[in-house]
C-alpha cells in the first residue's frame, strides 16, 4: 500500500480461462508503465479492470489510496485511449474533445478554453470542425488522446494505441506520446504486445504471460537480466542452451556443463546449486566471432562452430552458427569482415566467445520452458494453445 495505483492479488476468470491470475502490481505517480505480453496474456483485461469495464473476481484495485474495485467506469478518474480510437463519428473533433467536460458540467467558457488548448497540444486547431472520418489515422489518434487528457485523469490508459497505424506513423506517434507524457505529467498505463514500443517509452515494464506477471523492471533490467525463460525469449532474440550447474566458483560464478561444450562459466546471481538443470540464455549480439581460436581469460567461454547462414540486415549481419546440436544466432555490427579482411562465408569454421556476465541462467522449472526452446523468437507467445 501507499503506492499511487495498485492491483492487489487481482484475478479475472472467463469460465475455465484465467485471463488474469492473482496479479499484484504497483505503479508510481507520473510513471510511464507498460504491460507487455503476447495476445491473450491478460494485459488488456487488467487495463479494463482499472478502467471499470471489467470487475475482478477476486482482489482489489486501489487508486490514490482509494479502493475503486466496485466503482462504475463513469465515476473513475481514469481515461482510456482505445485501440480503435472509438471517436464519436457523429460529433466533430471539437465536440469529441468537449464530450467529457460537458458531461462534468463545467462552465462553457472554461470548456472552450480547454478544448482550444488541447487542439493546440495535438496540433489540430485548424481541423476542429471536421468529423472523425475525415481525419487520417494519426490525427484520429491524437484526437483520442486530447479527448482523454482534457479530463485531467489520474491515470491515462492506453490500449495498444498504435496497433492500427503504419510503421512510419507509429514511430512518429511514439515520439509524440513521449513528449505528451513529459508535458502533462500524468501516470500512463500502456498496454502493448510490441516490445519496441514498451522498451522505448516506458519507465518500467511488467511482462505478462498466461494471466501472470513474469517480471517487472526497467527496460534494461528486463532485457539484460530476464528472470524467466519466457521473458528472455519474448523480449528480443536469444539463444537457449540446456545444461546443469557443475560447481560454484568464486561465489558469483558457476561452471556449467552443456553437452558437447567445454566447461561454460556463467554469472550465477540466483545462487543455483550444483546439479540443478538450467537454461542459459545468451543474446545474439553478445557473441564475438573469430577466425582463429582467441586467447581470453577464464571468464570467457570459447566454442568452435561452422557458419550455416549469413543474413545481411543493413545495420548488422546475422550469422547462424552450428555448434554441436545448437544453431546459434549471432548478430555483429560492422563485422562482416574480420581483421584479416576476408568476409565470413557459408561453411567457414569460426570460433565464438562470450563473457560469463552475458549469459543468463534460468532455472528449468516447467514444461512450457522446454517448448520455448524449440520456438523461433518471432513466434514466442503464439501457438501455445491460446484463445
Partner 1 sequence: MNRSRVPLYTTLAVLLFFYLPIVVLVINSFNASRFGGTWDGWTLKWYAKLFTQRDIWLALKNTLIIAVGATAGSVVLGTTAAFALHRYGKSRLQRVHYSLIYTPLVVPEILMGISLLLFFVAIGAELGLFTIFLAHVTFCTSYVAMVVLARLQDFDFSIIEAAQDLGAGWWTTTWKVLLPLLAPGIAAGGLLAFTLSIDDFVISFFVAGPGSTTLPIRIYSMIKFGSPPLINALSTLLLVVTFTLVALSQRLTERRRA
Residues of the shown chain interacting with partner 1 in the complex, contacts defined by CB under 8 A: 51-53, 72-75, 78-80, 82-84, 86-90, 99-100, 103-104, 147-148, 151
Give min distance, CB of 86 to partner 1, in A: 4
Our CB check for partner 1 shows the closer of 79 and 281 to be: 79
Our CB check for partner 1 shows the closer of 128 and 249 to be: 128
| Residue 104 grid coordinates | 462534468
Give min distance, CB of 51 to partner 1, in A: 6
Give min distance, CB of 105 to partner 1, in A: 10
Our CB check for partner 1 shows the closer of 103 and 112 to be: 103
The phi-psi region of residue 374 (left if phi > 0; otherwise alpha if psi is between -120 and 50; otherwise beta) is: alpha
Give min distance, CB of 139 to partner 1, in A: 17
Our CB check for partner 1 shows the closer of 98 and 205 to be: 98
Contact in structure between 160 and 192 (CB atoms under 8 Å):
yes
CA 237 from centre of chain = 13
Backbone angles phi, psi at 205, to 5 degrees: -130, 140
**Per-residue DSSP letters for 233-281?**
HHSS--EEEEEEEEEEETTTEEEEEETTS--EEEE-TT-PPTT-EEEEE
Alpha-carbon distance of 327 to 309, in angstroms, equals 10
192 beta partners: 36
**Per-residue DSSP letters for 206-242?**
EEEETTEEEEEE-HHHHHHS-SSHHHHHHSS--EEEE
Alpha-carbon distance of 190 to 159, in angstroms, equals 6
Give min distance, CB of 48 to partner 1, in A: 9
Our CB check for partner 1 shows the closer of 103 and 175 to be: 103
Our CB check for partner 1 shows the closer of 151 and 215 to be: 151
Give min distance, CB of 154 to partner 1, in A: 13
Amino acid at each position: 500500500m501507499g503506492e499511487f495505483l495498485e492491483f492487489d492479488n487481482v484475478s479475472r476468470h472467463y469460465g475455465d480461462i484465467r485471463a488474469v491470475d492473482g496479479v499484484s502490481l504497483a505503479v508510481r505517480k507520473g510513471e510511464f508503465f507498460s504491460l507487455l505480453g503476447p495476445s491473450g496474456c491478460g494485459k488488456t483485461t487488467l487495463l479494463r479492470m482499472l478502467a471499470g469495464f471489467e470487475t475482478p473476481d477476486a482482489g482489489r484495485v486501489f487508486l490514490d489510496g482509494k479502493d475503486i474495485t466496485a466503482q462504475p467506469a463513469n465515476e473513475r478518474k481514469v481515461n482510456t485511449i482505445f485501440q480503435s480510437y472509438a471517436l464519436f463519428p457523429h460529433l466533430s473533433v471539437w465536440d469529441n474533445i468537449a464530450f467529457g467536460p460537458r458531461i462534468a458540467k463545467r462552465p462553457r467558457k472554461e470548456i472552450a478554453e480547454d478544448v482550444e488548448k488541447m487542439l493546440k497540444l495535438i496540433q489540430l486547431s485548424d481541423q476542429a470542425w471536421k468529423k472523425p472520418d475525415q481525419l487520417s489515422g494519426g490525427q484520429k489518434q491524437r484526437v483520442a488522446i486530447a479527448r482523454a487528457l482534457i479530463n485531467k485523469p489520474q491515470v491515462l490508459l492506453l490500449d495498444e494505441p498504435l496497433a492500427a497505424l503504419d510503421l512510419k506513423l507509429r514511430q512518429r506517434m511514439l515520439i509524440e506520446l513521449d513528449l505528451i507524457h513529459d508535458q502533462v505529467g500524468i501516470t500512463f498505463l500502456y498496454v502493448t504486445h510490441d516490445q519496441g514500443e514498451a522498451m522505448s517509452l516506458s519507465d518500467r515494464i511488467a511482462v505478462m504471460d498466461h494471466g501472470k506477471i513474469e517480471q517487472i523492471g526497467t527496460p534494461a533490467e528486463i532485457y539484460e537480466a530476464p528472470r524467466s525463460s519466457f521473458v528472455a525469449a519474448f523480449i528480443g532474440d536469444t539463444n537457449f542452451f540446456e545444461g546443469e550447474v557443475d560447481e560454484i566458483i568464486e561465489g558469483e560464478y558457476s561452471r556449467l556443463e552443456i553437452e558437447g561444450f567445454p566447461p561454460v562459466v556463467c554469472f550465477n546471481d540466483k545462487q543455483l546449486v550444483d546439479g540443478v538443470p538450467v537454461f542459459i540464455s545468451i543474446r545474439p549480439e553478445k557473441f564475438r566471432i573469430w577466425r582463429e581460436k582467441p586467447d581470453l581469460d577464464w571468464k570467457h567461454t570459447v566454442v568452435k562452430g561452422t557458419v550455416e547462414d549469413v543474413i545481411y540486415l543493413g545495420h548488422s549481419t546475422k550469422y547462424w552458427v552450428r555448434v554441436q546440436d545448437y544453431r546459434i544466432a549471432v548478430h555483429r555490427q560492422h563485422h562482416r569482415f574480420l581483421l584479416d579482411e576476408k568476409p565470413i562465408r557459408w561453411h567457414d569454421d569460426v570460433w565464438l566467445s562470450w563473457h560469463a556476465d552475458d549469459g543468463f541462467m534460468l532455472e528449468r522449472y516447467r514444461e512450457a520452458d522446454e517448448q520455448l526452446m524449440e520456438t523461433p523468437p518471432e513466434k514466442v507467445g503464439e501457438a501455445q494453445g491460446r484463445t
